């Protein structure tokens, strides 16, 4: 393979097929040596998240899809920016990195839609995951108003900010906010990607066509989108009625204590359209 095509996920899949001459699977230590050698040869470094040892031949862990009631409980229990983030994640199905990279300029308050064109990965701003990820998402008036109230007088910069006025950190969000909320409510523990599964299932359950759901969530094919489905389709409805209305009668809570400093306090560079 060309060097540029040798990525962490590709290596992860490859080591799951490696076998010794006697047909047995290599030990974890042997696989680790193979990966380290490949890193030296390719000049690339693969992260611990990308490489799963002993191998990726194991069945992938099934993503938990929360119920309507569980999502409402989490959003209602969250405070400040995290309430808005969980509401947006469930309502739009945006990936966590897309939410972290969303700028106020990407929100059309007149037409009620969000332009997804960038994402944050390991603290760095980058273009969307794939060409299909670059998309426009229609949102409910309730969510639009929640965003408007949260941003206040700000007109530019990263939308979702911590209390320090910096972009959100994924691990902090999980271990300091989402997981504690789930524990306090007696709910199963799951990550932000489950909100994306919930959004796909909700839209299909309420009558949105597969193609509309695929475009809304930035999936490349119907086959990939079907992997996110957990519930059967339901009755037909207008598009806005198909979208999870998580934010009805909910306020944004307490916003960041410092605003307008996102561009100075982080290493994220604004990308042009």
CATH fold group of domain 68-265:
hpI Integrase; Chain A (1.10.443)
Q: List, for residues 54-89, the tens digit of each pLDDT value.
A: 654 445 567 899 999 999 999 999 999 999 999 999
CA gap 136, 216 in Å, rounded: 7
pLDDT higher than threshold 50 for residue 234: no
What would the two tokens of residue 3 be?
């060097």
What would the two tokens of residue 188 be?
């199963």
Query: Of residues 235 and 117, which shows the higher confidence score?
Result: 117
% pLDDT > 90, the chain? 41
β-bridge pairing 118-121 and 124-127? antiparallel
Secondary structure of 39-98 as H, E, C letters? HHHHCCCCCCCCCCCCCCCCCCCCCCCCCHHHHHHHHHHCCHHHHHHHHHHHHHCCCHHH
For all residues of the chain together, what is the average pLDDT? 82
Domain boundaries, the chain: 1-60, 68-265
pTM over 0.95: no
């Amino acid at each position: 393979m060309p060097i540029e095509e040798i990525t962490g996920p590709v290596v992860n899949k490859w080591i799951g097929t490696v076998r010794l001459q006697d047909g047995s699977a290599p030990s974890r230590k042997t696989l680790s040596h193979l990966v380290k050698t490949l890193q030296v040869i390719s000049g690339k470094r693969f992260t611990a998240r990308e490489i799963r040892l002993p191998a990726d031949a194991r069945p992938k862990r099934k993503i938990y899809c929360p119920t309507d009631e569980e999502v409402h409980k989490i959003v209602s229990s969250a405070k400040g920016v995290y309430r808005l983030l969980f509401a947006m994640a469930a309502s739009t199905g945006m990936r966590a990195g897309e939410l972290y990279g969303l700028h106020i300029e990407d929100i059309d308050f007149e037409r009620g839609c969000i332009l997804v064109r960038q994402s944050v990965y390991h603290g760095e701003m980058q273009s969307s995951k794939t060409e299909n990820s670059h998309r426009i998402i229609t949102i409910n008036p309730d969510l639009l108003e929640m965003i408007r109230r949260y941003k206040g007088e700000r007109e530019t910069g990263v939308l979702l900010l911590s209390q320090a006025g910096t972009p959100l950190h994924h691990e902090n969000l999980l271990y300091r906010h989402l997981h504690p909320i789930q524990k306090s409510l007696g709910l199963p523990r799951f990550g932000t990607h489950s909100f994306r599964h919930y959004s796909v299932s909700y839209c299909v359950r309420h009558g949105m066509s597969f193609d509309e759901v695929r475009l809304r969530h930035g999936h490349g094919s119907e086959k990939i989108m079907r992997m996110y489905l957990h519930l059967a389709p339901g009755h037909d409805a207008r598009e806005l009625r198909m979208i999870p209305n998580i934010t009805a009668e909910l306020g944004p809570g307490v916003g960041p204590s410092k605003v307008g400093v996102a561009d100075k306090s982080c290493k994220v560079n604004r990308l042009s359209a």
